[in-house]
Amino acid sequence: DGGITQSPKYLFRKEGQNVTLSCEQNLNHDAMYWYRQDPGQGLRLIYYSQIVNDFQKGDIAEGYSVSREKKESFPLTVTSAQKNPTAFYLCASSRVNTEAFFGQGTRLTVV
Amino acid sequence: AQSVTQLGSHVSVSEGALVLLRCNYSSSVPPYLFWYVQYPNQGLQLLLKYTSAATLVKGINDFEAEFKKSETSFHLTKPSAHMSDAAEYFCAVSETGGGNKLTFGTGTQLKVEL
């Protein structure tokens, strides 16, 4: 089945640690995105990539980093510089000028 | 810059009643508009999209939305609510016509009561 796979579903991070969230798609989509969801705030764009080896900052990129070495993969690293990382993270992908398809999300909690 | 306003963070309806979820947008160019649904602890699923063809858009599960340029609105409706419709609904706008930089509203939680 084609789709977007995010892993892990739940992730716990200690203060000062970097953690990496995985996102893989087999839809042959060129564009991929990372959104952060907090209660009552909707979804906010962290980073997006429209082509391999290229990506742009979204509205809330501080404290996050990404890479796009393969078309299928767009991992997100939450660094220790992100002061409030507890949130639900959603990865999405799309072809050019079409709707976005979403993964099932990763819930990150700082312990 | 584009933006989306969803009026009403919580909406409650009786089973079988009309569902109306409101969405107003702001965009400097003709927009593409989307409604997504999210069930607890899951990703977003596309309900319907407006891409400058017909102004009345039909989606899955009997949902539909009407694009009204004069009112900058894209309200979501369903004639008869079902218990399974209880979820959070997000309106989103894109100026480039797709997943490129979708801007989301803050969401509306729909509750369906017996």
pLDDT in tens, B69-106: 999 999 999 999 999 999 999 999 987 655 567 899 99
Q: Which residues contact B30 (CB under 8 A, 6 or more apart)?
A: B52
- The closest CB to that of A42, out of B41, B96, B106, belongs to B106
pLDDT in tens, A89-102: 999 999 877 789 99
Nearest chain A residue to B40 by CA distance is A104
Assess B98–A contact: CB distance below 8 Å, yes or no: yes
pLDDT of residue B97: 55
Q: How far apart are CA A38 and CA A31, in angstroms?
A: 23
* Nearest chain A CA: its distance from B72 CA (Å): 20
Could you tell me if B30 lies within 8 Å of chain A, comparing CB atoms? Answer: no
Percent of chain B's residues with pLDDT above 90: 77
Task: Express each pLDDT in A39-91 by its tens digit.
Answer: 888 899 999 999 999 999 999 999 999 999 999 999 999 999 898 999 999 99
pLDDT beyond 70 at A1 = no
Contacts of A36 (CB under 8 A, 6+ apart): A43, A44, A46, A60, A87, A88, A89, A90
Q: Do B49 and A99 touch (CB under 8 A)?
A: yes
Is A103 near chain B, with CB under 8 Å?
yes
Report whether A89 contacts A105 (CB < 8 A): yes
Q: Which residue of A42, A98, A107 is in closest CB contact with B105?
A: A42
- Alpha-carbon gap: B53 to the closest alpha carbon of chain A (Å): 14
